[in-house]
Amino acid sequence: MAVNNVVLCACVFLAFFAVCDAYGTGAPDTACVTMHPGHMFNATAAVVPQTSASPYSIVVEGDKYTPGSTFSVQIVGPVFRGFLLQARRPGSTTPVGTFSNAPADTQTTECTTADSSMTHASPGQKQNITLTWNAPSTGVGNVQFVATVAEMKVKYWMDVTSAQVAQGTTSGASFAKPTFYLIMALCLLQAALFLK
Ligand SMILES: *[C@@H]1O[C@H](CO)[C@@H](O)[C@H](O)[C@H]1NC(C)=O
Ligand SMILES: *[C@@H]1O[C@H](CO)[C@@H](O)[C@H](O)[C@H]1NC(C)=O
């Protein structure tokens, strides 16, 4: 192989790793609120998000979650390398609930609280991954899954959002207050009639 070819190969190889290296092991802490990956073309120029419609979508298991239970969330679309995903109340930037059972090449990360977000663990190729969200045990009302998805370092989409998911009821909680008060009222009424 000519010396020129060896040099060219080495350059392509190094350039590839330079591209993959930045945040190759997960979203940086600064991205927790903005969900902006902070990728740079070079020392001065930041990579801007794509403005076209996202080829990725976030598909949720259903239109309701049960407080204290797990809920599946899938990032559907072409192969991608990096991402950051959280559950948030609509209009809020604070993540709610936690994630577990991280699929290969992904990890939970701490944003406000431990395991409140999911991100990549390496820049390996991923597609249609399913994530497991643990809904808070006390309901927090409607939530929505929000993500930044990077097809590659210089090409990413922000504000990829799922449909809103409403807070469902647990079998215990649905029985709780109204039924309890109704029974108490009937008891008091009966006691009052009995005492007359
Ligand atoms: C940095 O990258 C931007 C975007 O590709 C380019 O326009 C600019 O000339 C680059 N600057 C330097 C110093 O290489
Ligand atoms: C990912 O999901 C899309 C849309 O449902 C589908 O077209 C594609 O075949 C899936 N790819 C893999 C590897 O599962």
pLDDT tens by residue, 43-82: 888 899 999 999 999 999 999 999 999 999 999 999 999 9
pLDDT at 194 over 90: no
Highest-confidence segment of 3-17, 38-52, 72-86: 72-86
Q: Which amino acid is at 22?
A: A
Find, among 24, 152, 16, 17, the residue nearest to 80 by Cα: 152
Residue identifier of the C-alpha nearest atom 14 of ligand 2: 128
> When comparing pLDDT for 114 and 9, which is higher?
114
Say yes or no to pLDDT of 1 above 70. Answer: no
For atom 6 of ligand 1, which residue has the closest CA? Answer: 45
41 lines ligand 1 (CB under 6 A): yes
pLDDT of residue 31: 80
- Ligand 2 centroid distance, CA of 77 (Å): 7
Residue 115 has pLDDT above 90, yes or no: yes
Instruction: Let me know the angle formed at the C-alpha of 89 by 147 and 64, rounded to the nearest 5 degrees.
Output: 90
Measured from the CA of 41, which atom of ligand 1 is nearest?
2
Provide the pLDDT confidence category of residue 191 given band limits of 50, 70 and 90.
Answer: low
How far apart are the C-alpha atoms of 49 and 39, rounded to whole Å?
Answer: 10
pLDDT of the residue at 19: 35
pLDDT at 174 exceeding the cut of 70:
no
Q: Report how far ligand 2's centroid is from the alpha carbon of 135 (Å).
A: 26
- Report the pLDDT averaged over residues 136-154: 94
> Could you tell me the residue ranges of all domains in the chain?
2-170
> Ligand 1 centre from 14 Cα, in Å?
18
Nearest CA to ligand 1 atom 9: 45
Q: Which residues have CB under 6 Å of ligand 2?
A: 76, 127-128
Residue 55 CA to ligand 2 center (angstroms) comes to 12
Q: What percent helix, strand, coil does the chain show, rounded to 5? A: 25, 35, 40
Which fold, 2-170? Answer: Immunoglobulin-like (2.60.40)
Measured from the CA of 128, which atom of ligand 2 is nearest? 1
Is pLDDT of 3 > 80? no
Say yes or no to pLDDT of 166 above 50: yes
For the chain, how long is the longest CA-to-CA vector? 109
Q: Is the CB of 48 under 6 A from ligand 1?
A: no
pLDDT value for 41: 87
Question: What does the pLDDT read at residue 32?
Answer: 83
